[in-house]
Structure formats: C-alpha cells, structure tokens
Amino acid sequence: MGSSWKRVGPAAGAMVVAMLAAGCGSGDPGSRVSEPFIYEGYSGEEWTGHRRWAEFVTMPDGVKLAVDVALPAGYTGAADSATRFPVILQYTPYGRSSYNPATGEVPIPPNMQFFLRHGYAYVSVDMRGTGGSDGWINLFDPAVRHDGKEAVDWIAAQPWSDGNVGMTGGSYVGWSQYAVASMKPAALKAIVPNVAGWDGFIGRPGGIFWESFIEMWSALAYSLNRSSVFQPFPIPPTPPVVDEDGDGDILDEIPVDLDGDGWLHDDYAWPLENGPAPRYPDSVARREHHYLRGVMQHAAHPNGEPGTFDGYRVFKPLRFRDSRRIGDGLTPPDDNWAWFPDVLASGVAVLHLAGWYDPFVRSNFELHATMAGKLPSRIIAQAAYHQGISPAHARAIGIDSADQARYARGILVEQLRWYDRWLKGIDNGVDREPPVLAFVPHDGWRQESSWPVTGTAMTKFYLDSGRTLAASAPGAGGADRYRADFTHSSGWGPPQDVSAIVRANAAIGRPAPVADTYFRNRAFMFIPPQTPPYRTEADAKALTYTTAPLETDVRILGHPLVHLVASSTADDGDFFFYLEDVAPDGQAILVTEYQHRAGFSRLRDNDELIPGRPGIDVEPELPWHGFARADYDPRVFAGGKTAEVVTALYPTGWMFRKGHSIRLSITAADWPTFELHPALSPTNRPGDPRNVTPTITLHRGTGSGSYVELPIVPDRGDGT
C-alpha cells in the first residue's frame, strides 16, 4: 500500500509557520520537519556569499578541462566555520558558466546560490571538446565518463573539499551524471539528474525521425561546441579560464571574430602556428591563446571526420538501433544502457527529476523503477516541460501562480533534503519515504511507494462505433477509415521564430529547416509553450474516439497503453496518439501522447534494452520494439495485412473530472516535429503531389479490436 500524503498547500505551510512562531525554533529538535517540500530545523542558510575562481584541471592524456569553483563564504552560523565543504558538481557540454556579453558578468545560477548558502561548494566543469576546455568529443561520447571520474577524484583531493561529491543538472547534464556514476568514483555519493535523456536511440522515438528537435538542438550544440558568440538560442558563450594579459578582464581573452560571423574557428588556422597571429580586442599580443586553442580543437576532429558534434548529421542516418554512427562507429546502445549495470553497482543515491511534458519522462521512470530496491532511488514528476511550464498552461491545469512558486521552491527543497542526506549524512528520513512523488493535475501531489503505483487498475476503453470510446466491450465489431493528413501538427500557440536556426544551419552548411514556421510542443525543449496544449482544432485533422461525460472523477497515474489493430492502403505508416481531456464545453486539452511506426510492430522483451542481458529486470514492463534492423518490417500492411500496434504513451498523471470526457485522437503525421514516413513522402513535404497518402482502417471489436488502457489509480481519500 502506498502511504497517503496531503497535498502541499497553504494548510500544511501554515501549520509549520504556526509551529515555529510558537517557539519551537530550529534549535529544538522537536520542531524539526522533513517531508516533501517542507524542511525545517535540519539545515540552515548560514553562508551569505561565495568565493569563486576558474582553473584548468589536466586529464591523464594532457587535455585540460575548464573548471569553475565557488566556495561558501560569509558564515553567519554559531559553530566554527567549516573550511571543507561537500561539493555539488555540474559536468556539462553547454558551458560551465556563461557571461553576459553586455555587462561581462558571470552569474551563478540561483539554485546553486541556494546550495552555497546551505554550505555546499559548487564546481562546474566543461566537458572536453566544449566551452573553455581543450580537446574534442563526440555527442554522448562514452569517453566523457573517464574525465568525469577524474574530475570527481580531483575534487575529493582538494583542500576545500570534505570528500563528498554530488552532481546536478538537466538534460545532457543529467545524462552526464549517470555516465559519471557508472565509473564509480569513490567520492560520488548522490546525483540529481533532471529531465535527463537516456535512451540512446534518441533521434527516433517510436521509430520516427524527430526532425525538428534534432535540427534545433543540433544547431545549438554545434554553436556551443565551437563557443560561438552567435547562438540560435539565448545562451551566452562560456568565459575563458585564464586572464593571460593579467589586466583583470577575462573577456578580452576571446580573440577577434575577424569576419564578424560569430564563429572563431573559421578565422584562424589550426595549428595556430600555421596562420596569422590571433588578434585580440585590446590589441595586446598573447602567447598561449588558451581560449582559441580550445575552440580550434573542438572544431578539429582528430580522425579527420568533421562535425560529429552536429547531431542532425549524426542522428539522421541512424535508422535502426543497431546502426553504426558515422565518424565514431558507436551504436546507440553502447552509449547508455550498456553502462547501466555499472550505475547500479555504483551505490550512488539517485534523485530523478521528471516532467510530464518532457520527452525523456519514460526513461526517467524506467531508470527509477529498474534501480528501485537496488540503489537509493527517488523520483519526482512535476507538471513541466523540459524547462518548466508557462503560467497560462499551469493555470489551465489548476496550478495558480502561488502554487507554481511554492512547487518551484519545493523542488529545490527536495534536492536539498537529498544532498543533506547523502553528502552531509543528515538523517532527515528522505531515504525512508515512499520514493515516488508525483503531481496529478486537478488533484494534487501524491506520494507512492512503487512504480507502477500500487492499486493501479489498467482499464480498457474500447474504440467503438460512432467515434466513441467505451468502457464496456463493444458488442459488435467494425472498422473506421481515415485518410492520412500529413499537414497535421502537434504544435500550438503563436508561431516560433526559427530565423536564428536557419542562420545557424546555413553556417554549418546544412539545408534550411523543412518548415519555415514552427510551433512549440513537447519537442520544443528550449522554452515551454506559452499557451495551454489545446487540441480542439488539431483534432479536426484526426480520427477521434471520445467517452460519454464521466459520472465520477477518474485519476490516472502511469503509462497509458494503446492497442491499435489496423490495416492500410500503404505498406507501412506512422501513428500519432493523443490522450485528451474534453471539457463540457468541447475544449480538448492534451494529457499525453506518443508515436509509433507500424513497421516496428513486433514486441521484444524490454530486458534486452541492456546489451548482453545481464539478468537485470528492466521495469516497468512496457511494450518495447527493439528498433533493430531485424525488428523492422517495411511491408507490415502489404497485401491487406492487419497489424497490431501496441505502444505506451508518455507516462503521466491526470484527473479527468466528473462531467469531462476522455478522448483518444489518432493521426498519421506530426509535421514538422517528425519526419514524414520516407516511403510515403520522400521529400518530407506535406504538399508534395508525389506523396503516397494512405487510407488507414482501424478495426473495432471485442476479440481483435482496438483499445486504450488507462492506469486508473484510487483516490487516496486525503481530500485533495
């Protein structure tokens, strides 16, 4: 049984305030509170400032990594001031820090200021081949694991370190935490990966090329990798490490961009001795050219293969999970799941932070569920995209601005409780709490002891006649026909300006994006969509099945499953599934979604995710399709064949309120987010008259019909 936990709300907060006001100050152990989002009496903000510097740390092969160190300063506590601190490490390809080109300031992120005030040192390291570091790397290069271990070992040996290291960061910087953990550095005690991608087959979720995201992210990564001052997104460049002319100004160590195009690697020769002397904005000569040497090394592949930090170029040709990558010959599974047994053996305590609207949320839950019981593992799922959620979307799912601020603070508190437990050894009980903390829109936060949630009833809703979704098995079979509409897009809100991406692509030498207008959605990971994900208009291009208005509230928490029985006039095709909540006024809002290429219908044991099947049970038991070349049938529908497509939607939490309806919406394209099926639209253009536009038949009925299964969970009865 999962234990119940009251919604974090004004009542709980007020209780703590009242208790403290009554004189139970932080000095009284009886006043201590440690529960989700509330943490009093264990760990105070006793430092008011910090001391900071940058330096190089040399790897065994001579490559220098750029490192920023910030130590707590301005101690205000009662005890003797510490001189050695537990350390939180960020290990990143996106810039260990960034400067404001207008002011020259290099700010410390607010969350790290919070941890500095709590007595944690902060170290941020540029991965080799990025930022202010030397060297060269591939995308998701296993080699970064070795440098990461070196960095942790180096930290543990510093006089300002107490020998306990944790890690922080999101996305790639979350991935890097698992990567370093797999090397089992002795000092690494806890990691907190946020919205971390894990599945190495990142370019083709569901087997379909993720065109717009890979294109945009690639432009960003490529620019950052070359420390370009021209960025497709507003991420300023990484500052140099060494003030070579000693004038106190670090930014004048960046050479002049001679042709003014924002890139440096095109202005100078490599090795530098082969070209003209680098010029600097202050006209002072330098001898070492630290920053420029780094940039030139990032851009120069040691094997003569240019640009493998260009994700589009790397991932687009990777059609199958066992395809070899260009340049380095890696296969996607070599990147991640292959190290998973080493992560398990590391003993590191993992706090996974997930977002219901983030593309990596399935991986986050797979990692947690597979680690649970083998490592200290905890997961928190918020209603968030890759980078938060807009106030308008939050409001539409029952989160007001006060809630939003409280939850943001709460997530920070949860990280503090984790670091305090595992880096400072404070027995705050977080390791004994139910390990799943999940927000269910319209209902509230839930604390659960397991994933899948104890008491889940996987409940079938059948595709029935009249475009209805029925809780009871249909009496008669039938079929519905749907002519694919390649113009369907899952994006919403105001158009997104992609001119900077067009310019970045041009600089890289790639063709322009396939679409001249983008809209934001889950795949647009740089900024969350400004508006709620209403699908009312998009559903006009879809085949939809909708329940009657619900007679009671229905709570789901888990992985919805789709079982589609279909045939098609084309040999293969793609399906896009959207689970929606339809309000009494007809407005449909997206709950969750996923996509699947029918040719990958054959199901595989998910334990095969880990190469060599080392006997680890990958959980939860979700449909998985292998995605290797041998798993693909390009003629899955040929000759009138019927195929059963079974796939899990992104996991989610949601409460469908009484009077609302549940809808499954199905389309055959989501352009330009996903590439159109190359056998149906070789040009990936919806309007190309040469496209093959299939008519799809969906089969209904009790025995061999289509249905969706929802993970319905009980009302915890705590009044939320």
Q: If binding means CB under 5 A, how many residues of this protein chain bind Ca ion?
A: 15
Cβ–Cβ under 8 Å, residues 528 and 390: yes
Q: Measured from the CB of residue 54, what is the shortest distance to Ca ion in angstroms?
A: 13
SS3 502: helix
Q: Quick one: which segment of 236-244, 435-443, 499-507, 641-649 binds Ca ion (CB under 5 A)?
A: 236-244
Q: Is 259 one of the binding residues for Ca ion (CB under 5 A)?
A: yes
Q: How far apart are the first and last CA of the chain?
A: 18
State the residue for tokens 């208005």. Answer: 549
User: CA-CA distance, 165 to 437, in Å (whole number)?
Assistant: 24
**Closer to Ca ion at the Cβ: 222 or 315?**
222
The residue (of 245 and 485) whose beta carbon lies closer to Ca ion is 245
Residue of the chain from 61, 249, 305, 688 that contacts Ca ion (CB under 5 A) = 249
The C-alpha torsion from 263 through 267 and 272 to 275, rounded to 10°, is 180
Segment contacting Ca ion (CB under 5 A): 132-140, 250-258, 546-554, 581-589? 250-258
Residue pair 243/286 in contact (Cβ under 8 Å)? The answer is: no
For 605-670, the DSSP string reads -GGGGSTT--S---SS---B---SGGG--TTTTGGG--EEEEEEPPPEEEEEPTT-EEEEEEES--
Strands 588-597 vs 574-582: parallel, antiparallel or unpaired: antiparallel
Nearest residue (CB) to Ca ion, 9 versus 262? 262
How far, in Å, CA of 264 to CA of 254, rounded? 9
Q: Which string of x and - marks every residue 582-611 that binds Ca ion (by CB under 5 A)?
A: ------------------------xx----
Calculate the dihedral angle through the C-alpha atoms of 654, 657, 660, 665, rounding to the nearest 10 degrees.
10
Of the candidates 46, 153, 257, 431, which one interacts with Ca ion according to CB under 5 A? 257
Select the span of 241-249, 364-372, 534-542, 628-636 touching Ca ion (CB under 5 A).
Answer: 241-249
- Report the nearest approach of Ca ion to the CB of residue 651 (Å): 16
| Contact flags string 541-580 toward Ca ion, x per CB under 5 A | ----------------------------------------
Distance CA 618, CA 608 (A): 8
Least spacing, CB of residue 338 vs Ca ion, in Å: 17
Q: How far is the CB of 297 from Ca ion (least distance, A)?
A: 17
List the one residue from 178, 263, 320, 492 that touches Ca ion (CB under 5 A). Answer: 263
Neighbouring-strand partners of residue 445: 439
CB 284 to Ca ion: min, Å: 8
In the bound complex, what is the minimum distance in angstroms from residue 238's beta carbon to Ca ion? 16
According to CB under 5 A, which one of 141, 211, 252, 709 is a site residue for Ca ion? Answer: 252
DSSP 220-262: HHHHHHTT-SS-SSS-PPPPPS--TT-SS-SGGGSPP-TTSSS
Binding test (CB under 5 A) with Ca ion, winner from 61, 105, 247, 497: 247
| Residue 446: CB minimum distance to Ca ion, A | 24
Give strand pairing partners of 161.
85
Under the criterion CB under 5 A, does residue 211 sit at the interface with Ca ion? Answer: no
* 702 vs 474: CA distance, rounded Å: 6
CB atoms within 10 A of CB 566: 23
Pairing type for strands 643-648 and 561-568 reads antiparallel
Least Å distance, CB 264 to Ca ion, is 6
Q: Of 45 and 617, which has the nearer Cβ to Ca ion?
A: 617
Residue 267 binds Ca ion, judged by CB under 5 A: yes
Binding status of residue 245 toward Ca ion by CB under 5 A: yes
**Which residue type sits at 42?**
Y
Nearer to Ca ion, 241 or 348 (CB): 241
Q: How far is the CB of 384 from Ca ion (least distance, A)?
A: 28
Per CB under 5 A, does 334 bind Ca ion? no
Region binding Ca ion by CB under 5 A among candidate stretches 127-135, 238-246, 663-671, 696-704: 238-246
Q: Position of tokens 């006060």?
A: 402
What are φ and ψ of residue 495, in 5° steps?
-60, 145
Q: Which of residues 611-650 bind Ca ion (CB under 5 A)?
A: 617-618
Choose between 400 and 617: whose C-beta lies nearer to Ca ion: 617
Interatomic CA distance for residues 24 and 15, integer angstroms: 12
Part in contact with Ca ion (CB under 5 A); list of ranges 252-260, 367-375, 501-509, 579-587:
252-260
Q: Considering beta carbons, is residue 61 or 247 the nearer one to Ca ion? A: 247
In a 10 Å sphere around its CB, with 0-12 CB exposed, 13-18 middle and 19+ buried, how is residue 630 labelled?
A: exposed
Distance (Å, whole) CA 585 – CA 570:
37
Smallest distance from the beta carbon of 620 to Ca ion, in angstroms? 8
Among 46, 153, 261, 431, binds Ca ion (CB under 5 A): 261
CB 144 within 8 A of CB 125: no
Is 354 an interacting residue with respect to Ca ion (CB under 5 A)?
no
Rg value, the chain, Cα: 26
Q: Rule CB under 5 A: which residues touch Ca ion?
A: 243, 245, 247, 249, 252, 257, 259, 261, 263, 266-267, 606-607, 617-618
